[in-house]
Each structure stands twice: as structure tokens, then as C-alpha cells.
Amino acid sequence: MPVDQIAIGVDIGGGSTKIGLVSSAGAILDRARIVASKTDDADQIVRTYANAIKRLMARNPSAVPIGIGIGFPGAIHPGNMSGTFANVPALDDTPLAERIGAVFSLPARMENDGTAAGIAEAMFGKERDSPRQLLVTAGTGIGVAFTVDGKPFVTSYGCLGNAGHVIVDPKGAERCRQGCLGCLESVASADALNAMAAGFVRTNPNSAIALHSVGLGKKADASDIIFCARHGDGAAVSMLTEAGRWIGRATATWAHIFAPSIILLGGGLSAAGDLLLKPIEQEARRCGLALYLDHARFALASLGNDAGMIGAAAQIFLNSRP
Ligand SMILES: [Zn+2]
């Protein structure tokens, strides 16, 4: 039996960064979570990451990594070594992969975090046998990754462009965070559902959504919609259905371009399960061409929050394949 290889996966987040020792079978052998201060400069951030990796390696002396993969929450520059990340300007254009790799004399690579999640689902997820995977990550924003036999297809900046900003609403009056009008993110992301929840509780202060958020001592948001929908609240179910229909229309468009064998739903909103997935599937099949949709299955992504870290490491295995 071939011995598993080991790589280090670094999943950089807005708040914290996850670092894991990941095997080529997709198992997480050990992990750590670190917080780099937003005021740190690039040298300090590289040191913080490198020290955390050193501690992880010291705890696991028999696990010898063959490389370090980084999942980066921003635009990746050509060459996959640096990127631009609005949340931590110090990391802009820093050759992060090169510098961390140099500390350990190991090959290092960097992918966009959504693309990394797509690689992880394609290589190790429940649906890994499906060859052409479209992963829709519905969270604060909406990301789309496409892989063929585990290899990511990218068009720009390490991503499938900004596919979450496909324009779906001709009446769209609100600009999304990035500035377009009527895009999918502006009507169906967690941000959009947060706004939907806030507007709804203003006029429905005794609704299940309002009472649930008050019980938790916070403003109503997408998590209250998901909780109440899962407990059968009609208004909450309707909101998820509406968001799902928007995503379904966009999914039909993506399917026409990429001809996926499976469409996976991941990200924070996927906690809604079938309450979001079913309207996505129904609307995509209703609007789209049977030629493309009849060959595509719909399923929930299976690796959850670990997808980014596993996929960050997996890019090393992918690039070490003969
Ligand atoms: Zn947009």
C-alpha cells in the first residue's frame, strides 16, 4: 500500500488562520488556529505563520511534509505566490508562499481559498467520484469554483472570475459590496439575508425570526432565518426559497457554460440544507437547458469549514502528481 504523503495547509481567514497537517488521503493529522494582528507588517505575519508551522511540526516529528499550501481570501496574482487581500493590506503583493516556503526549504503554493475548497471537495469530499464539480460557496459573499478531475479551472486572479456577481435581477437597485447592480451576491448571500431579516423584524416584531434573535440578545440575521426555517417557520422558509431561486437561476447559467456533473452547495448558508438546496435545484432545472441540467446532480458539500485548509494542502499533492 502506498504511504500517505503529508502537506501543510494554511487557510487564511479575515479573523483567524487555520493551519493543519493534512495527509494525501485528506485526513487532518493535527491542527492549530492563530490570530495575526491586523496591525502587523508582512514580516511579522510571515513570522507568526512560520512559528505556528514549526510548533505543529515539532508536535508531529514523524509527519514530514512535502510542501506548504496556502488558501488566500483574495485575488491571486499570476504565478500563485502572492495576492491582494483587502482585509489585511500588509499582505498585498507580499510573496507569501515564497517566503514561508523559504523558511522551511519546502515547495509552497497559494490558491484562492474558494478554489482551494473546490479542490478539497473534488479530491476528498463525498462526491469525489464526480469528475466535473461546480462548488457554490454561499456565505457572506457567493463564490464559485469549478474543477475537472480535481484540477481547478480558473479564468482570473486564481478564481472563476467573480462568478458570484453574475447579474440576475434586472430591477436591482442596491449595489453589492463590490459595486455592481443586481448581482447574485446582492440578493442571495448571507449579507442579503441579513438585510432581509432586519427589514422583516422591523415590521414583524412578534415573528419567530424576531423572537429568536431577541432570545439570543442580537440583531436578526441569516442565522435566525435558517434556525426558524429548520423549525418550520413559514416566513423563514419563504426567504430561503427566494434566495435559493436566485441562486438556481445563476446556477443554470453556470451549468450552461461549464457542463458540471455535480453542483455542490457549501458555505455558511448551506447549514440550511435542503431548504436552500432544493429551491436551487428546482429553479435551475426549471430555467435551464435539459441538455446541461439533466446530466448534473445537486448535493451539499461535505467538508464544511475544513475544506479551505484541506484544499490548501491538497494543491501540493495535485502539483506533485506524476
Ligand atoms: Zn456584485
Using the mean position of ligand 1's atoms as its centre, give its distance from the Cα of residue 166 in Å.
7
Using the mean position of ligand 1's atoms as its centre, give its distance from the Cα of residue 140 in Å.
12
Using the mean position of ligand 1's atoms as its centre, give its distance from the Cα of residue 257 in Å.
19
Domains 6-120+306-319 and 129-301 share a fold: yes
Q: What is the pLDDT of residues 128-170, one digit of tens each?
A: 999 999 999 999 889 999 999 999 999 888 889 889 999 999 8
* The three cell numbers locating residue 14: 479575515
Using the mean position of ligand 1's atoms as its centre, give its distance from the Cα of residue 49 in Å.
32
Using the mean position of ligand 1's atoms as its centre, give its distance from the Cα of residue 297 in Å.
27
* The three cell numbers locating residue 299: 448535493
Give the number of other Cβ atoms within 10 Å of residue 174's Cβ: 12
Whether residue 296 contacts residue 262, with contact meaning beta carbons closer than 8 Å, is answered with yes
Using the mean position of ligand 1's atoms as its centre, give its distance from the Cα of residue 278 in Å.
24
Closest Cα partner for 11 from 310, 273, 298?
310
Q: What is the pLDDT of residues 200-252, one digit of tens each?
A: 999 999 999 999 999 999 999 999 999 999 999 999 999 999 999 999 999 99
In whole angstroms, what is the distance from residue 308 CA to residue 276 CA? 22
Using the mean position of ligand 1's atoms as its centre, give its distance from the Cα of residue 238 in Å.
23
pLDDT at 1 over 60: no
Using the mean position of ligand 1's atoms as its centre, give its distance from the Cα of residue 25 in Å.
37
What DSSP character marks residue 179?
S
Using the mean position of ligand 1's atoms as its centre, give its distance from the Cα of residue 138 in Å.
14
Using the mean position of ligand 1's atoms as its centre, give its distance from the Cα of residue 291 in Å.
29
Using the mean position of ligand 1's atoms as its centre, give its distance from the Cα of residue 163 in Å.
9
Determine the average pLDDT of the residues in 36-49.
86
Using the mean position of ligand 1's atoms as its centre, give its distance from the Cα of residue 274 in Å.
25
In whole angstroms, what is the distance from residue 111 CA to residue 106 CA? 17
Q: What fold characterizes domain 6-120+306-319? A: Nucleotidyltransferase; domain 5 (3.30.420)
In whole angstroms, what is the distance from residue 111 CA to residue 78 CA? 11
Place of cell 422591523: 202
- Burial of 309 from C-beta contacts in 10 A (0-12 / 13-18 / 19+): buried
Using the mean position of ligand 1's atoms as its centre, give its distance from the Cα of residue 298 in Å.
24
Determine the average pLDDT of the residues in 110-128.
95
Using the mean position of ligand 1's atoms as its centre, give its distance from the Cα of residue 178 in Å.
5
Helix (H) or strand (E) holding 22: strand 17-23
Give the number of other Cβ atoms within 10 Å of residue 140's Cβ: 18
DSSP 279-302: HHHHHHHHHS-HHHHTT-EEEE-S
Using the mean position of ligand 1's atoms as its centre, give its distance from the Cα of residue 141 in Å.
9
Q: What is the pLDDT of residues 58-99, one digit of tens each?
A: 999 999 999 999 998 888 887 767 777 767 778 888 889 999
CB hemisphere CA count around 218 (13 angstroms) = 8
Using the mean position of ligand 1's atoms as its centre, give its distance from the Cα of residue 181 in Å.
6
Domain ranges of the chain: 6-120+306-319, 129-301
Using the mean position of ligand 1's atoms as its centre, give its distance from the Cα of residue 117 in Å.
21
**Which pLDDT score is estimated for 321?**
67
CATH, domain range 129-301 = 3.30.420.40
Percent of the chain with pLDDT over 70: 98
Residue 228 CA, chain-centre distance (Å), reads 24
Q: What is the pLDDT of residues 257-295, one digit of tens each?
A: 999 999 999 999 999 999 999 999 999 999 999 999 999
**Which pLDDT score is estimated for 302?**
97
Whether residue 14 contacts residue 73, with contact meaning beta carbons closer than 8 Å, is answered with yes
